[in-house]
Amino acid sequence: MRIAAGVDVGSTQTKAVLAGANGDGISILARSLIDTGANVRKAAERAFDECCRQAGVTQGDVGFVVGTGYGRYNISFGHTQMTEISCHARGAHFLCPGTRTVIDMGGQDAKAIGVGPSGEVLDFVMNDKCAAGTGRFLANAAEVMGVGLDDIGPLSLRGTRPVKIATVCTVFVESDILSYLSQGKRPEDIMQGVHLAIAKRTLSLARRVNIEPLITMTGGVARNVGMVHALETVLGQKVVVSPDAQFMGAVGAALFSLEKMGESFESSVWREHAVSSRN
């Protein structure tokens, strides 16, 4: 069986996936997730090692590695790089067949991707200059409220009278929340307000691409049930979430790796790509 890897070096967390292909199709062999931290290069290596360990293979067994995410050019062992946009589309197409729209909410950016019938990117928009409405916004809110990341989602679901969050600035939201707390508002209502605010913000951006079903949410924030629910509320449509949502970029990268292995390495674009990335 052919083994290939995808490594998604995100701003916040680094994800690696090993995928294998044999006669009866493609399967995910291992996945690993670590905080990116300051040393991007190291993070990528650690994530990759961890994957190989899980799968019980050596790096030598891995035929091809595609790097993606904002830190993709820092991956020393990658054969080539691809944008997270292509990878998320590819991954979603594979794990959630029929996907036409991908909404990726990561640590520091949010994207919407229009996906074609064969998993190709039709169109996309991203917010990467302002942390408003990203995972970071939520993480901040959670911190101010003294709630763990895993709990904010469930908490917000319990809200009944969501508060109105005026600001979208990740910094100023603190003071909003604090004043609501001291006004005696219930944490679940505040959290629901926060989630809805982000959902609105994200969708106003996402609507620049034609949002069509099937809508798949990817990225770490997809692990937040409250956010998924908020998106569905604002959209008025169902949103699909794969258990591997946060790994979607890495999965897509791994799939591309397999495709690369399936063809000769002479394809000039890939070469040039790999070279240009080093300098």
Partner 1 sequence: MPLVAGIDCGSGFTKAVVAAQDSPGGELRILGRGRARSGINVDQAAEDALIQALAGNPKSDLNYIAATGFGRYSLSFRDIAITEITTAARGAYFLFPQPGAVLDIGSQTTRAIAVKEQGRVSSFKSNDKCAAGSGMFIARAAKYLEVPLEHVGELSMNAAHPQPISSICAVLAESEIINHVSSGVGVDDILRGIHDSLADRAGALLKRVGLQKELTFIGGVAHQQGMVRALEQRLHVKVKVAEDCEYVCALGAALLGLRRLASRN
Partner 2 sequence: MSEYRGSIHQQQKDLMLDWYQRLDQAAEGGEPPTVSMMISGNCVELLEGFDAVPIYPEVNALQLAIRHQSLEPILAAEEMGYAGDNCAYVKADIGCMVKGITPTGGRLPKPTLVLCNFVGCNTYVKWFEHVAAFTGAPLFVLDVPFLRGEEPSQADIYYVVQQLKEVVERLEKLTGRKFDEDRFRQAVAYSRDVEELWSEVKHLAKHSPSPFDAYFDAITLMGPLYVYRGKREGVEFFRSALAELKEKVRAGEGVYDQEKFRVVVEGPPPYPYFRSFRDMFAHWKAVAVASTYSTVGGLWEFGFRHDPEKPFESVAMHMLAQNVTNRNYLQRYEQIRRYVQEWKADGVIIHFVKSCRLFSAGQGDMRDYLTRQVGVPTLYIESDLEDPRYFAEAQTKNRIDAFFESLEHAKHTAAHAVGA
Partner 3 sequence: MDEFERTFDSLPEILGDLSFARVRDWKKQQEGRKAVAFFPVYAPAELVHAAGMLPVLLSGAGDRLDIQHADSRFGSFICSIIKTTMEMAMTGHLEPFDALLFSSICDSARNLCFVIKRNFPQIYTDFIHLPHSTSDSSVDFLTQEYRRIIHELERLGGSPIHDEALRQSIALYNGQRGLVRQLYALRAHSPHLLRAWESYLLVRSGYVMPVEEHITLLRQALEYLPTRSNKKRDAIRVVIEGSFCEQPPLELIRLLENAGCDVVEDDLVIAQRWFTEDVPLGGDPVRALAESYVKSSVYSSVRHDSQRPRWDGLAEKIRGTQAEAVIFLIAKFCEPAYFDYVLFKKKVDEMGLPHLLLEFEEKLFTFDRLRTEVETFVESLVFD
Ligand X SMILES: Nc1ncnc2c1ncn2[C@@H]1O[C@H](COP(=O)(O)OP(=O)(O)O)[C@@H](O)[C@H]1O
Which positions lie near partner 2, rule CB under 8 A? 26, 82-83, 85-86, 89-90, 93-94, 97, 116, 118-124, 126, 128-129, 208, 210, 255-256, 258-259, 262-263, 268-269, 272-273, 276
Exactly one of 1, 171, 178, 275 binds ligand SF4 (CB under 6 A); that residue is: 171
Exactly one of 86, 170, 202, 218 binds ligand SF4 (CB under 6 A); that residue is: 170
Report, in Å, the least distance between residue 107 CB and ligand SF4. 13
d(CA 94, CA 200): 28
d(CA 78, CA 55): 19
d(CA 194, CA 199): 9
108 counts as binding ligand X under rule CB under 6 A: yes
Residue in the block written with tokens 């990528």: 44
The verdict on whether omega for the bond into residue 231 sits within 30 degrees of 0, i.e. cis, is: no
Find the part of the chain contacting ligand SF4 (CB under 6 A) among 34-42, 118-126, 165-173, 213-221: 165-173
Strand 121-127 and strand 215-218: pairing?
Answer: unpaired
Q: Which residues contact 165 (CB under 8 A, 6 or more apart)?
A: 173, 176, 193, 194, 196, 197
Find the part of the chain contacting ligand X (CB under 6 A) among 8-16, 48-56, 177-185, 253-261: 8-16
Which residues contact partner 3 by CB under 8 A?
166, 204, 207-210
CB count, 10 Å around CB of 27? 11
- Torsion from C-alpha of 227, 199, 230, 96, nearest 10 degrees: -60
Strands (E), 148-271: 215-218, 240-241
Contacts with ligand X, 9-38, as mask; x by CB under 6 A = -xxxx-------------------------
Name the residues that contact partner 1, by CB under 8 A. Answer: 11, 37-39, 108, 129-131, 136, 140, 167, 169-172, 175, 178-179, 182-183
Name the residues that contact ligand X, by CB under 6 A. Answer: 10-13, 69, 106-108, 135-136, 138-139, 149-150, 153, 219-221, 223-224, 246
